[in-house]
């Protein structure tokens, strides 16, 4: 009960929802649709040691930190999950997630499989949602359609995707990304 406002209700804590799935399945597109259509949903901003790309803003796409600062955060237990990828560290600062959950805000975290497993250990009450492609063929088509990688990189991503698809059974819910709008609406329904 708020001393200044005795009638004010204390919000119920929310449950963290974690979205994961293979590369190319459309996680970023689904999250962008949720941001557009449901601004009340809070999306965690990851920290990284990589250099900002043109147009990226600190605190919007990522919190950009140096390696020493990131490692201090890990050592202090300030990261909910983290991993190293392509020589850079990426992770989810724990404090903002816990603050949003305590305030009763719908909180969404978009991360890779390794991070989802770490969140499962750190916050067993979190709901893990696996975003799956309609088919393996469609996933391959989407990766090729990006036009951002050569054949060898696509083949490597597809190999990793096979392993990630097998991990779907570790998740609480599997959503099929048949269309971005449909997948986003299904995910929003799971946040409540």
pLDDT of 26 > 50? The answer is yes
- pLDDT score, position 1: 42
Residues 6+ apart with CB under 8 A from 142: 24, 25, 26, 133
Q: Which sequence spans correspond to the domains of the chain?
A: 17-191
pLDDT of 145 > 90? The answer is no
Between 19 and 10, whose confidence is greater?
19
- Mean pLDDT of all residues in 132-143: 85
3-state SS assignment for residue 124 = coil
Residue 122: its H or E element: helix 113-122
- Mean pLDDT of all residues in 46-54: 94
Residues 6+ apart with CB under 8 A from 122: 80, 81, 94
- Mean pLDDT of all residues in 16-23: 93
CATH of domain 17-191: 3.40.50.300
Mean pLDDT computed over every residue of the chain: 89
This prediction's pTM: 0.85
Q: Give the confidence band of 143 by pLDDT, cuts at 50, 70, 90.
A: confident
Per-residue pLDDT tens for 92-124? Answer: 999 999 999 999 999 999 999 999 999 999 999
Tokens 């190999």 sit on residue: 159
Between 28 and 8, whose confidence is greater?
28
* Cβ atoms 6, 163 nearer than 8 A: no
Per DSSP bridges, beta strands 63-64 and 79-85 are unpaired
pLDDT of 8 > 90? The answer is no
Burial class (CB in 10 A: 0-12, 13-18, 19+), 146: exposed
């Amino acid at each position: 009960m708020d001393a200044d406002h005795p009638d004010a209700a204390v919000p119920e804590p929310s449950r963290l929802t974690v979205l994961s799935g293979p590369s190319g399945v459309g996680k970023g597109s689904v999250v962008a649709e949720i941001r557009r259509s449901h601004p009340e949903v809070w999306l965690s901003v990851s920290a990284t040691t990589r250099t900002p790309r043109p147009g990226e803003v600190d605190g919007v796409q990522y919190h950009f930190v140096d390696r020493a600062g990131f490692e201090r955060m890990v050592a202090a237990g300030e990261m909910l999950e983290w991993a190293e990828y392509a020589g850079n560290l990426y992770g989810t600062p724990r404090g903002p997630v816990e603050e949003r959950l305590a305030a009763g805000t719908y909180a969404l975290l978009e991360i890779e499989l390794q991070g989802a497993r770490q969140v499962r250990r750190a916050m067993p009450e979190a709901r893990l949602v696996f975003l799956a492609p309609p088919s393996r063929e469609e996933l391959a088509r989407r990766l090729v359609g990006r036009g951002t990688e050569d054949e060898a990189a696509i083949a490597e991503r597809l190999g990793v995707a096979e392993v990630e698809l097998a991990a779907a059974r570790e998740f609480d819910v599997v959503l099929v990304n048949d269309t971005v709008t449909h997948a986003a609406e299904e995910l929003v329904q799971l946040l409540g």
